Amino acid sequence: MSGRVSFARISVVVALILLATGLGVTLAMGTTFLPHATTFERLQGVPRDAHPFAEGTGAVVHPTSSRVVYARPGGSPMAVLPSTQLGNPTWVPVVETAPGWVRVLLPSRPNRATGWISGTGGGLQVARTPYLIKVERAARRLTIFRSGRVIGRWTVAVGAPTTPTPLGRTFLLAALSKTGQGFGSVVLPTGTHSKSLDTYGGGPGTVAFHGWPDKTVFGKAVSHGCVRAPDSALSALSRVPLGTLVIITR
């Protein structure tokens, strides 16, 4: 997976977030007790994504060290975004910008949680992914786009009516290989969670792309919220950079 997390397959934008306002707060300044914005956390008082089906610009950021997350630029700190998630480097999509700040999707509950990160003080890598992933629940269809062009389309299984795959935009959070349990060669957690289940299989109910040993499930709404995908789809998804937007529609 080393080629994947290095972002060698995307056009890296060597970008400095030019600061017109400098209000960055470091972890040494009284933020020790802030919750960490991970898939295991439920954050309080976070702003929600106001445009849950927008395709975005492809901009993604990686904190090379833990960064404080704010509800608004210059506001009170509300969380800390760590530099890794599930053993993978943290890459999150940018959904809005302001001078010296970026607003990103977070991998925590509630779904569509967002927060602002200061661009001051360094320690924030910026890149751009040409990929976009779409899941259409009613059609049971997964599509991967690259620079606006379809590069792959598959019939998949989505959440059952009682445990539906949550709508809105999220992102590829991590890639976990050698998971066993019939889930395929790779499991790809996203930044969203089941709205029906607080926990599943001992985890926090994170929605993921994964395989399934019974191929007859594809084209059906039978999962606990995850997207069950064929091996060829998982192989293609494993080449998509972390932080890439995933848009789930009806």
pLDDT tens-digit series, residues 180-199: 678 988 999 999 999 999 99
* 168 within domain boundaries: yes
Confidence band for 152, pLDDT divided at 50, 70 and 90: very high
* 31 within domain boundaries: no
Domain limits at 228? 131-249
pLDDT of residue 169: 98
* 11 within domain boundaries: no
* 150 within domain boundaries: yes
How many structural domains comprise the chain? 1
* 19 within domain boundaries: no
* 120 within domain boundaries: no
Confidence band for 150, pLDDT divided at 50, 70 and 90: very high
Structure confidence by residue, pLDDT tens digits, 239-249: 999 999 999 99
How would you class 5 by CB atoms within 10 Å of its CB: exposed for 0-12, middle for 13-18, buried for 19 or more? middle
Phi-psi region of 100 (alpha: psi -120 to 50; beta: other; left: phi over 0): left
Contact 105, 114 (CB under 8 A): yes
pLDDT of residue 5: 40
Q: Report whether pLDDT(30) > 70.
A: no
* 122 within domain boundaries: no
* 154 within domain boundaries: yes
- What is the 3-class SS of 186-215, one letter each residue? EEEEEEEECCCCCCECCECCEEEEECCCCH
CA atoms within 13 A on the CB side of 64: 8
Contact 231, 154 (CB under 8 A): no
pLDDT of residue 201: 86
Stronger pLDDT, 217 or 19, i.e. the higher one: 217
Assign residue 138 the CATH number of its domain: 2.40.440.10
Interatomic CA distance for residues 88 and 242, integer angstroms: 9
Structure confidence by residue, pLDDT tens digits, 73-116: 999 999 999 999 999 999 999 999 999 999 999 999 999 999 99
